[in-house]
Amino acid sequence: MNAFRYDQPKINTTNPNKWYIGYHIFFEDGTKERRREHGLKNYKISLTKEKDLEQRMKLAKRILRLVEDDLSNDIDPNKRNEELDKRNLAKIQAQQKEFDSRISFDNALAMVKREKGWVNPAEGKEHTANIVPTNLISSFKPFLERIGKVDDIRKVTRVDVKNYIEERFNPIVGKGWSSASCSAAKARVSILFSVLLDKDLIEHNPTVGIKIKKDNEKIRPLDIDDTDRFEPWTAEETLHWFEDLAVSETEIEKLMYVSSALLYYAFIRKSELLRLSVISKLICTEIGK
């Protein structure tokens, strides 16, 4: 709620030598002030020094917009510099607080090591104390760097962790991790966030509810011999099938031209064309003649 009310500011040009923006401001204590904003003190724009009337009107409209913006944002134009300084300071302090409260991956991992006793691990825990941090650093940290969240892992979401697991289960290149390896990776990441959750530094563990796929759900990577199955028609093939065949006099080549043109413009790939039994039988029939 505004600490004051005001009437609509207007440009006053009654005195040709002293233009101003005029308005009234009404405070909560019942007092009222009549304001004449000339621009120089509060907005560093002078209406009195500008002699060209057209240019002066442009400046007046600019000051009018500034006054209206300040009033609508609960800023008293006579105290705008003081108010803006306070608001900028508050904004800077909020940004600094946000910066100070960030939790980087490295700091989070150091926290985990302390909480789990992995800094100087007890006998029998040396392997776990070494393997979990090592795997997190080698795999999860690069992922966080790529998505821009390594400096504040509080921003990591369930979707992020799900994508991290999926990328390793079904990578674009290579065989990928097994289901068991993905489960182990999820458990390691869960340890990282569990410690933060216990310290009330995050509201929930983003690994909760993520389902690990079974090995039979893995997408089979393409073999070298599979590549041609998904290739579109090449320029040379198009030339042969649609230009050379178009002028052919033989029935079989005319049939191949018509059928190929039909399937080509239906966006069917060459491999799918060659697998169609109907076309194959027609071609074989013509060849048999």
- Dihedral pair phi/psi, residue 118, rounded to 5°: -95, -5
Whole-number pLDDT of residue 284: 54
Whole-number pLDDT of residue 120: 86
Whole-number pLDDT of residue 148: 93
**CA–CA distance from 190 to each of 181, 195, 216 (Å)?**
14, 9, 25
Query: Which residue ranges make up each domain of the chain?
Result: 4-97, 105-217, 228-288
Q: Which two tokens stand for residue 282?
A: 């027609």
- The mean pLDDT value for 221-250 works out to 60
Mean per-residue pLDDT over the chain, rounded: 82
- The mean pLDDT value for 164-186 works out to 90
CA distance 203 to 102: 14
Whole-number pLDDT of residue 122: 83
Of the candidate ranges 36-45, 170-179, 271-280, the one whose mean pLDDT is the lowest: 271-280
pLDDT digits (tens, 9 = 90+) for 108-127: 999 999 899 998 888 888 88
Neighbours of 3 (CB within 10 A): 9
Using the predicted structure, report yes or no on whether residue 190 has a pLDDT greater than 70: yes
DSSP-based three-state secondary structure for 20: strand
Whole-number pLDDT of residue 229: 47
Of the candidate ranges 121-135, 164-178, 238-252, the one whose mean pLDDT is the lowest: 238-252
pLDDT digits (tens, 9 = 90+) for 253-263: 777 777 777 76
Using the predicted structure, report yes or no on whether residue 178 has a pLDDT greater than 70: yes
Using the predicted structure, report yes or no on whether residue 60 has a pLDDT greater than 90: yes
- The mean pLDDT value for 235-252 works out to 68
CA distance 165 to 152: 20
Using the predicted structure, report yes or no on whether residue 21 has a pLDDT greater than 90: yes
Does domain 105-217 correspond to CATH entry 2.10.240?
A: no
Predicted model pTM: 0.47
